[in-house]
Amino acid sequence: MGLKFDYKYGQTPIDENEKGGLLIESITTQGELNEFEQLNIERAIEWILRTSFSSAQILSEDFIKLVHKKMFDKVWKWAGKYRKSNKNIGVDWTVIGIELRSLLDDTKFWIENKIYGPDEIAIRFKFRLVKIHCFPNGNGRHSRIMADIIIESIFKKEVFSWNHSSMGKADELRYKYISALHHGENGDIEHLLKFARG
């Protein structure tokens, strides 16, 4: 396959086996791949907007996989399937299911016991989900959409902006986002909360 990846700062490289999962053979550049993925994600967002989900549905392993599948199923064979290799980020691939179930149980506990406010629950969920890194790729985008689903469907609040108003400064935003994730490593998610609502 002639596709050459041009990884941006903080992106997770795709291994050779995963590259073989590309469904559109005509894609040869990173720009073309980005376009097809974006179209796929827009279709997924349309599906999310016209469907109502219960809290029990959202906080399930099947739903986590389904959202990723809807986001990438026209581009990648492995859409909605857990990765089968270790990456530069994320838990060991053999414990993804265990870590995800732990996150889902914790989130249910936070909601039932009002441990944090709605924004903080959604952002803590997003942060831990991206740290698990369930899928070969698309984990950052997937975790942001999951946070939006949680805040809108469970808490009936407005979705996060994720600094979209400044998308002309994509590289600068990426550094800001990665920096906010690094702060989260020490339990400080204030930066990520500000980024999400910025």
Query: What does 143-193 look like in DSSP terms, one character per residue?
Result: HHHHHHHIIIIIT--PPP-TTGGGGGGHHHHHHHHHHHHHHHTTT--HHHH
CB 111 within 8 A of CB 120: no
Structural fold of domain 16-197: Fic-like fold (1.10.3290)
Q: Average pLDDT, stretch 100-107?
A: 98
Whether 168 shows a pLDDT value over 60: the answer reads: no
Q: Average pLDDT, stretch 127-154?
A: 97
Is pTM, for the whole model, over 0.85?
Answer: yes
CB 71 within 8 A of CB 59: no
Q: Which distant-in-sequence residues (6+ apart) come within 8 Å of 132 by Cβ?
A: 90, 91, 96, 99, 100, 103
21 phi and psi angles, rounded to 5 deg: -90, 5
pLDDT of residue 92: 98
